[in-house]
Amino acid sequence: MTKKEAYKKAFETQNIPSDLADQCANILIQDETQTRTKEDQETIDKAYEIAFGVNPRNIK
């Protein structure tokens, strides 16, 4: 299993739809070589909100 496949599986176990899980896995792999864009962060935030029911930007 590749690192990307492992990330995707981890997202999917949190009830993240497969296409969003794939996008998130790509972003996490890219994080190793480049900084995360605002759009990438919004994608990760969306997955977090689906998994945990709260947007991480709203946690105080």
Residue 60: band (very low, low, confident or very high) from pLDDT cuts 50, 70, 90: low
**Any idea what DSSP says for residue 16?**
-
pLDDT of res. 49:
92
The verdict on residue 59 lying in a domain is no
Structural contact between residues 7 and 24, judged by C-beta atoms closer than 8 angstroms: yes
pLDDT of res. 55:
77
Convert the pLDDT of each residue in 1-57 to its tens digit. Answer: 999 999 999 999 999 999 999 999 999 999 989 999 999 999 999 999 999 888 777
CA dihedral 50, 11, 22, 15 (to 10 degrees): -50
Structurally, the chain folds into a number of domains equal to 1
The verdict on residue 41 lying in a domain is yes
Tell me the three-class secondary structure of 36-58, residue by residue.
Answer: CCHHHHHHHHHHHHHHHCCCHHH
The verdict on residue 58 lying in a domain is no
- List the structure tokens of 57: 């930007």
Structural domain span for residue 46: 3-53
The verdict on residue 10 lying in a domain is yes
Q: Whole-structure pTM over 0.85, yes or no?
A: no
